[in-house]
Structure 1
């Protein structure tokens, strides 16, 4: 990724404020690896985990993919004054705020930082860490329903 604005790194430390976990509707897409990490964390079988915590949503190109559900307050189903699955959280959550589109331009970073108190504070994350997270986020593919059926049903 060619970019100069984060050449010397960016500061970030999660403040556990729940802004990204419950400030409106959204999707936390789960890959197969995310699902397996959650199942290990909660000591649950995939079918039971999906029935309790997930929904199937329409994704790009009309694919149906796995996502976490939200509470009536529009919080992540796993949020309870903190993430109840922090160590097992999915790629989408683990790589925040170093998503490829967010670190592409300083203006995008600054716009997102207006809402996230952890951005621009805390320890500095190196250019290499940022690019690794951005790549992991970009390459993370949500589990689609057809793959779910083939692997788990």
Structure 2
């Protein structure tokens, strides 16, 4: 197996353009970790957070999973001239742009970089192979909550 194209690291430095946080349709899928961090940060119950900030998104094999809402202009519901929950942001957001599908090869990285000035930022931080792999692994391990899992949590919360 050949070595990854990023074996010597990649430069990335966010330019705060917010392109990854909106401007076009997309999904920020929420895992249990994400839901817990966000609702704790906002001091909300599961029921309150889900009803105010979430929607159901179609996922693989016909399953529906929890995702953040988007505003009418496609910006993330948590975007307010910056992430309003930055310290509690979802893993999907904190691992960008080192998602497994984005770093699968140089061509894909270069194509994605067309929309992200941070990926073309030569003054950006040189991310090491180990840092990139850690982000990729965190992204891959971060599984979104299914409708059944969330409904169970909501029912348990009602019983308390």
**TM (normalized to structure 1)?**
0.95
Q: Which residue pairs with 2:67 in the alignment?
A: 67
Query: 1:42 deviation in Å?
Result: 1.0
Would you say 1:135 and 2:137 are equivalent positions?
A: yes
Query: 1:107 deviation in Å?
Result: 0.5
**Aligned counterparts of 1:62 and 1:29: Cα–Cα separation in 2:** 15
Query: 1:2 deviation in Å?
Result: 5.5
Unaligned runs of 5+ in 1: none
| Secondary structure of the corresponding residue to residue 119 of structure 1 | helix
**Aligned counterparts of 2:33 and 2:2: Cα–Cα separation in 1:** 28
Say if 1:10 and 1:120, in contact at 8 Å, map to a contact too.
Answer: no
**Aligned counterparts of 2:145 and 2:3: Cα–Cα separation in 1:** 31
Query: 1:44 deviation in Å?
Result: 1.1
Q: Which residue pairs with 2:50 in the alignment?
A: 50
Would you say 1:90 and 2:95 are equivalent positions?
A: no
Q: Which residue pairs with 1:126 in the alignment?
A: 128
**Aligned counterparts of 2:15 and 2:91: Cα–Cα separation in 1:** 18
Please give the per-residue CA displacement for 1:59-101, whole angstroms capped at 9, x wherever unaligned: 1111111000100111101111111111111011011000001
Runs of 4+ in 1 over 6 A off after TM superposition: none
Query: 1:5 deviation in Å?
Result: 1.6
Q: What aligned pairs does 1:27-46 form with structure 2 within 5 A after superposition?
A: 27-46=27-46
Unaligned runs of 5+ in 2: 156-160
Backbone CA RMSD of aligned residues: 1.3
Q: Which residue pairs with 2:158 in the alignment?
A: none
Say if 2:46 and 2:153, in contact at 8 Å, map to a contact too.
Answer: no
1:150 corresponds to which of 149, 152, 157 = 152
**Aligned counterparts of 2:69 and 2:2: Cα–Cα separation in 1:** 35
**Aligned counterparts of 2:149 and 2:85: Cα–Cα separation in 1:** 24
